Chain A
Amino acid sequence: MIEIQGITKAYDDVRAVDDVSLTIESGEIVTVVGTSGSGKTTLLRMINRLVEPTAGAILIDGRDNRDLPGHELRRAIGYAIQGYGLFPHRTVAENIATVPKLLGWERKRIDARVDELLALFHLEPDQFRARMPHELSGGQQQRIGVARALAAEPAVLLMDEPFGALDPIIRGKAQDDLIDIQRRFSTTIVLVTHGMEEAIRLGDRIAVMDKGKLLQFATPAEIIAHPATDFVAELVGSDDRAFRLLSLAPVADLLEPGDASGEPIDAAASLKDALAEALWSGRAALPVRRDGAIVGRVTRDSLIARAGRPQ
Chain B
Amino acid sequence: MSVSFLLRLALLVLLLTFLANPQAFEPVFAPFAANGAPAIYTQSSLVALTLSHLAMVAAATLAATIVSVGFAILVTRPSGREFLPLSRSIANIGQTFPPVAVLALAVPVFGFGPIPTLIALFLYGLLPVFENALTGLTSIPASVQEAARGVGMTGGQRLVGVELPLALPIILAGIRLTAVISLGTATIGSTVAARTLGEVIIAGLTSNNTAFVLQGGLIVAMLALFIHEGFALLETALSRRTGGAQPA
Contacts and interface: CB of A to CB of B under 8 A. Distances in A.
Interface string B134-163: 000000011111111111111001000110
A65 B137 CA distance: 31
A227 to B, nearest CB: 33
Interface centre among A50, A72, A76, A87 (most CB of B within 10 A): A87
Contact of A87 (B148, B149, B152, B154): B148
B243 A134 contact: yes
Contacts of B148: 85, 87
Contacts of A50: 146, 149-150
A71 B241 CA distance: 29
Interface centre among B142, B144, B152, B161 (most CB of A within 10 A): B152
B166 interface: yes
Nearest to B162: A87
B150 A81 contact: yes
B242 interface: yes
A140 B107 CA distance: 62
A211 interface: no
- Consensus secondary structure, chain B interface: helix
Contacts, number: 74
A88 B152 contact: no
B149 A74 contact: yes
B143 A98 contact: no
Interface string B211-248: 00000000000000000000000000000011110000
Interface in B13-64: none
A221 interface: no
B96 to A, nearest CB: 35
B147 A74 contact: no
A15 to B, nearest CB: 23
Interface string A63-92: 000000001111110010111111111000
A88 B242 contact: yes
Contact of B242 (A79, A132, A149): A132
Given A102-B151, A133-B243, A134-B242, 4 more contacts: A89-B166, A89-B242, A135-B243, A149-B151
9 contacts: A48-B150, A50-B150, A85-B145, A85-B147, A88-B243, A89-B166, A99-B151, A102-B151, A149-B151
Interface of B: 141-154, 157, 161-162, 165-166, 241-244
